[in-house]
């Protein structure tokens, strides 16, 4: 590929910790439902409910919290009490207010790249929640554009680049999800770097045979990005 002019970063689990917060909360909810359901049942039902509710609530903590409440009511056959429901709501509030923990080497890498490339964020989720996380991350001033979208697919990316008058061939997308951050960009004829994260929501997980032969670069750590970009010049 030619040296990019624009670096587009995913946010959750690329710049800061996200999925482990959901996993920890799910474990707490599972403990709350132990008296109503057998082990393993809750995870499957919660995922089923989340996927069903995506078209209504979208991605993010609020939709997750509502799906947890719905799951708890269904699995307990309505026996769960108001106190337990309040605990689930409190879990959701804790998630929204959770401190932003940048992943290793993120701040140093972004600082190294500042001024050498135009940098932007393309992230999906709840608008209010994502805006808050970006503001609290301490990284907002490094990015010239921030796009918060409800879904990440070919149509979404095409719209983002079109309304910002960006040629996709000048963009390098960096993210932890093959499904959301890498393959749609490749399908549009652009370039992307996959930086795997140790915890990935099952909805974002795809196997190697589902990559449709698209070529992309994989880096083990975001700290390797500056040297990779230098080799393109």
- Looking at 68, 96, 124, the residue that finishes a domain is 96
> Count of domains in the chain?
2
Is the residue at 136 inside a domain? yes
- Looking at 96, 118, 135, the residue that finishes a domain is 96
pLDDT in tens, 51-93: 999 899 988 999 999 999 999 999 999 999 999 999 999 999 9
Do both 142 and 198 map to the same domain?
yes
Is the residue at 1 inside a domain? no
Do both 32 and 61 map to the same domain?
yes
Do both 147 and 214 map to the same domain?
yes
Residue 205 near residue 184 (C-beta atoms within 8 A)? no
Residue 155 near residue 124 (C-beta atoms within 8 A)? no
CATH number at residue 154: 3.40.50.1000
pTM score: 0.89
Do both 106 and 123 map to the same domain?
yes
Do both 11 and 23 map to the same domain?
no
Residue 14 near residue 176 (C-beta atoms within 8 A)? yes
pLDDT in tens, 2-59: 889 999 999 999 999 999 999 999 999 888 888 888 767 888 898 899 999 989 998 8
Do both 87 and 120 map to the same domain?
no
- Looking at 96, 111, 137, the residue that finishes a domain is 96
Can you name the residues that pair with 193 across neighbouring β-strands?
Answer: 174, 217
- What is the token pair recorded at 128? 């209010």
The DSSP line for 204-215 is G---GGGSTT--
């Amino acid at each position: 590929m030619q040296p990019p002019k624009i670096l587009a970063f995913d946010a959750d689990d690329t710049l800061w910790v996200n999925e482990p917060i959901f996993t920890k909360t799910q474990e707490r909810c599972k403990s709350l439902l132990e008296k109503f359901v057998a082990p393993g049942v809750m995870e499957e039902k919660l995922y089923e409910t989340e996927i069903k509710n995506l078209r209504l609530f979208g991605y993010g903590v609020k939709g997750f919290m509502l799906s947890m409440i719905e799951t708890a009511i269904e699995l307990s056959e309505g026996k769960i009490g108001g106190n337990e429901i309040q605990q689930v709501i409190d879990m959701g509030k804790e998630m929204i207010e959770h401190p932003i923990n940048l992943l290793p080497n993120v701040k140093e890498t972004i600082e190294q790249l500042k001024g050498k490339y135009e940098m932007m964020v393309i992230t999906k989720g709840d608008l209010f929640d994502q805006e808050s996380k970006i503001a609290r991350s301490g990284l907002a001033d490094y990015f010239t554009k921030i796009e918060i979208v409800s879904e990440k697919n070919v149509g979404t990316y095409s719209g983002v680049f079109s309304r910002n008058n960006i040629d996709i061939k000048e963009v390098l997308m960096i993210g932890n999800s093959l499904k959301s951050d890498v393959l749609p960009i490749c399908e549009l004829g652009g370039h992307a770097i996959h930086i795997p994260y140790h915890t990935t929501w099952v909805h974002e997980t795809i196997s190697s045979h589902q990559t449709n032969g698209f070529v992309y670069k994989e880096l083990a750590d975001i700290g390797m990005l500056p040297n990779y970009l230098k080799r393109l010049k």
